[in-house]
Structure 1
Amino acid sequence: MTPRLDAIGLVVADMAASLAFYRRLGLDLPAAADSAPHVEATLPGGLRVLWDTEETIRSFDPEWTRPEGGDRVGLAFRCDGPGAMDALYDDLVAAGYRGHLEPWDAVWGQRYAVVLDPDGCGVSLFANAA
């Protein structure tokens, strides 16, 4: 069997804070999951996003430490258009999440921005240029 990408895992310090952020990006995550040590969401097309608390990871990898010095993996969310992307960025920043790169028209033909999730990971927002 050929391996296939099935899931993207995120290690989080605060499950409830992380899930609240990703709910604002449209992921369907039940409120009861906020106190769980492991959460999964299946996206259209079957790819899964997995969240584990730092404590969960340490339960089977006691020497695990939080990465330092920048993003290792980045998630990117496509928006319906430049206006929708700008509005989503503004909504996230107004909700208290940290903007990292304000919306701009990228040379590669997209409207682009980056906001930080509660663990400081950069999450890209983009839309095809008008």
Structure 2
Amino acid sequence: MQPTFNVLDIAVTDLGAAIDFYRRLGLEFVRDQYMPDDHAGCDLPNGLHLMLDTDDLRTKTTAGWTAPASGRTFLAFQLAAPADVDTLYAELTADGVTGLQEPFDAPWAMRYATVADPAGNGIDLYANLPAG
């Protein structure tokens, strides 16, 4: 039997704040009808599904789990142009989102920046730099 990887699950401190944050990055979550305050999901391309679960739900459903002091998950969002990385980073941090790494030209030929989602997970913003 070969397992199929098809779901990412992020533990969050505040489901509403997480949904609002990820909506700004183009993701639309649907709250679970049975657990609307603790669980939401979003279908992604290629059959992947992204879930948000509150720390409270994770604690109840996973024996021995406790919320980490800070996020250990990083999701990456590609933008169309290097200037878009700077613009989105500036907009997010101006609205109070924590910036973890200001935009920079990375040695792997991308414009890169990182912010934190409301639970402290890293969100990378990147765009390919022009060749040359």
TM-score, normalising length from structure 1?
0.88
Match of 2:64 in 1: 63
Cα pair 2:30 2:41 within 8 Å, conserved: no
Match of 2:42 in 1: 41
Residue 75 of structure 1 deviates from its aligned partner by 0.6
Match of 1:107 in 2: 107
Q: Does 1:125 align with 2:107?
A: no
Structure 1 pair 52/15, CA: closer, same or farther in 2 (3 Å)? same
Cα pair 2:72 2:122 within 8 Å, conserved: no
Deviations 1:23-73 (Å, cap 9, x if unpaired)? 11110235898x5311110012221110001111122235321123x5432
Structure 1 pair 43/105, CA: closer, same or farther in 2 (3 Å)? same
Residue 60 of structure 2 aligns to which amino acid in structure 1?
Answer: S
Residue 2 of structure 1 aligns to which amino acid in structure 2?
Answer: Q
1:5 match: secondary structure: coil
Name the Cα RMSD after superposition.
Answer: 2.0
Supply the distance in 2 between the matched residues of 1:59 and 1:31 (Cα, whole angstroms).
18
Supply the distance in 2 between the matched residues of 1:30 and 1:105 (Cα, whole angstroms).
35
Supply the distance in 1 between the matched residues of 2:90 and 2:107 (Cα, whole angstroms).
22
Residue 12 of structure 1 deviates from its aligned partner by 0.7
Match of 1:96 in 2: 96
Residue 60 of structure 1 aligns to which amino acid in structure 2?
Answer: T
Structure 1 pair 38/31, CA: closer, same or farther in 2 (3 Å)? closer
1:45 match: secondary structure: helix
Q: Which runs of 5+ in 2 are unaligned?
A: none
Cα pair 2:32 2:39 within 8 Å, conserved: no
Supply the distance in 1 between the matched residues of 2:86 and 2:42 (Cα, whole angstroms).
25
Structure 1 pair 7/122, CA: closer, same or farther in 2 (3 Å)? same
Supply the distance in 1 between the matched residues of 2:102 and 2:17 (Cα, whole angstroms).
22
Residue 5 of structure 1 deviates from its aligned partner by 1.7
Total equivalences in the alignment: 128
Q: Which runs of 5+ in 1 are unaligned?
A: none
Match of 1:54 in 2: 55
Supply the distance in 1 between the matched residues of 2:94 and 2:20 (Cα, whole angstroms).
14
Supply the distance in 2 between the matched residues of 1:32 and 1:6 (Cα, whole angstroms).
18
Percent sequence identity over matched residues?
39
